[in-house]
Amino acid sequence: MSPRKLTTKPADRSVAVGRRRIAQKYLEVAELIASEDGAAINVTFGLAVLAGIAAADAICISATGERYAGQDHAAAADLLGRVDRDLGRRLRDLVALKPTSHFGQTLLGPTQRTQALRAAQALVAAAVERTS
């Protein structure tokens, strides 16, 4: 069975570098508040998700000349998984809790914050490596 068709749009190196810079800034801000508890955990997690998504765009563009162009972040993880299986899994794990971190009434915990930061850090590091 062939992989499902994903909505993509073409992009060049300058877009990849721009998305990488955005990913780095989201991660930087997430790390600034990472020591706070309570609602700050959800905010940290949300910023880590945004960092991961931007990093995934940079990675996909540098590998294929395309980035995901839809609203389904799980599909963006599928596209990234075609480039790098491990990174696709990391993004998939991040976006799975995006609704809770952004829209939910439940506060996430320190373990989830740590996992999100580690995933985002790995994604951003890969984006830096592939776009520098």
Residue 38: give its domain's CATH number: 1.20.120.330
Domain for residue 123, yes or no?
yes
Domain for residue 117, yes or no?
yes
For the cut 90, the answer to whether the pLDDT of residue 102 exceeds it is: no
For the cut 60, the answer to whether the pLDDT of residue 2 exceeds it is: no
Domain of residue 101, residue span = 10-131
Domain for residue 4, yes or no?
no
Q: Indicate the pTM of the whole model.
A: 0.93
Domain for residue 98, yes or no?
yes
How many domains does the chain divide into?
1
Domain for residue 55, yes or no?
yes
Domain for residue 3, yes or no?
no
Residue 66's pLDDT is: 97
Domain for residue 63, yes or no?
yes
Domain for residue 5, yes or no?
no
Residue 74's pLDDT is: 92
pLDDT, average across residues 30-53: 95
Contact by Cβ (8 Å): 60, 9: no
Contact by Cβ (8 Å): 123, 76: no
- CA-nearest of 75, 68, 39, 58 to 120 is 58
